[in-house]
Amino acid sequence: MLELGYTQDQFDQKDPDQQDQLALELFYLVLRDAGRAHNQPNSAGYGNYDTGKEAIATLFPGASWSGSINTRARDIRTKNGGDINLFAPGGSLALAAIKIGNPLTPPGMVTEAGGNINVFTRGNVDLGISRIFTLRGGDEIIWSSEGNIAAGSSSKTVQSAPPTRVLVDTQSADVKTDLAGLATGGGIGVLTSVAGVKPGNVDLIAPTGTIDAGDAGIRVSGNLNISSAVLGKEGNIAAGGTSSSSAPTASAAPSAGSISTASNSAAATSTTATEVAKHEAAAPASAADAPSLITVEVIGYGGGSGDEQEEEKDKPNSGT
């Protein structure tokens, strides 16, 4: 409880509803720390997710949990500050597979005026054409026990901005205009939409699955930690602070096409070498061993009149 600023005695003095809320906040922090420790060689949790799995078994014991969350392109938002916590201990989360109607802003999970976003599932977390954004401060923790986390395929050119708010101080009658700031694109993001916002961190954890930045990408104003079995489209990730991941990239594994191409190339090389060897075996060993071929061209057999032939007969034989 010290991470939440409470001692055990202070926690025990809370009513049951407050204790449940604090326990849920602590649960996400344990998942986050398990993912970070997995990537730290000097940590006791390096290369494992034991503390996270223990927390899951404590809060959600047994294997009878079921049910998934499908928002069907609808929004989950907080507008005046506040966190968003979603958990499907026996299922998955799907935000928006297709575009429904013509919404003014991309659908998804957004904290417009600050707040954290925490997601825990057993199966996949699939954004589709949607987004998970914090616009004015906040961190994100997304854990998928047995599935993948996919940032989706939302267009990077789409723009949206929450409506401008007018704030009136009831004590001084001071009137201020609150600009929410412009947010672009989709995917997973902790954005600095207005100046002066504290950078936020993102922790994505999929112990047995793939974390795929997709076409929409992953953007973080603060630090980014990725813990997964495989990392996809790592070139579409941007972090303002440190970025850590021990997962091998999907591009590191050879594709079936490249293996087939290499096999065909090797076969062609082998065939060519065989033909060359046959040709060299049939050819003479050296020029000295090759037989000489002399071509004789007969230009003519003599000619002339009969008298000339007789005169040639009458001449004495001069010998050789």
Both 119 and 17 in one domain: the answer is no
Phi and psi dihedrals of 127, rounded to 5? -85, -25
Query: Whole-prediction pTM value?
Result: 0.72
Domain of residue 245, residue span = 64-156+182-252
Residue 278: inside a domain = no
Residue 50: inside a domain = yes
Both 138 and 3 in one domain: the answer is no
What percent of the chain has a predicted confidence (pLDDT) above 90? 44
What local confidence, expressed as pLDDT, does residue 195 receive? 76
Residue 307: inside a domain = no
Residue 300: inside a domain = no
Tens place of pLDDT for every residue, the chain, 320 residues? 556 677 888 878 889 898 888 889 999 999 999 999 999 999 999 999 999 999 999 999 988 999 999 998 888 999 888 999 999 999 999 998 766 555 556 788 999 888 999 999 999 999 998 899 998 889 999 999 999 999 998 876 655 555 555 556 677 767 655 555 556 778 999 987 677 889 999 999 999 999 999 999 999 999 999 999 999 999 999 999 999 988 888 754 443 343 344 444 444 444 444 454 445 444 444 444 555 555 555 555 555 555 555 555 455 554 44
Joined together, the tokens standing for residue 220 give 């973080």
Last residue of a domain, one of 252, 267, 288: 252
Contacts for 147 with CB less than 8 Å, ≥ 6 apart? 92, 121, 122, 123, 124, 125, 206, 209
What local confidence, expressed as pLDDT, does residue 192 receive? 79
> What's the pLDDT tens digit per position in 180-223?
555 677 899 998 767 788 999 999 999 999 999 999 999 999 99
Both 50 and 87 in one domain: the answer is no
Joined together, the tokens standing for residue 161 give 């901005």
When divided into structural domains, the chain yields a total of: 2
Last residue of a domain, one of 229, 252, 275: 252
Joined together, the tokens standing for residue 193 give 């939409």
Residue 147: inside a domain = yes
Our separate counts of H helices and E strands in the chain read 5, 20
CA distances to 19, 120, 136, 265, 318 from 81, rounded to whole Å, are 21, 21, 9, 60, 133
Both 56 and 73 in one domain: the answer is no
Both 207 and 69 in one domain: the answer is yes
Both 48 and 69 in one domain: the answer is no
How does 163-174 read in b/e, with b if 16+ C-beta sit within 10 Å?
eeeeeeeeeeee
- Chain position carrying tokens 């953007």: 219
Closest by CA to 214, choosing from 185, 193, 240, 243, is 185
Measured CA to CA, the distance from residue 190 to residue 111 in angstroms comes to 10
- Contact, 166 vs 175, CB < 8 A? yes
- Contact, 186 vs 154, CB < 8 A? yes
- Contact, 144 vs 94, CB < 8 A? no
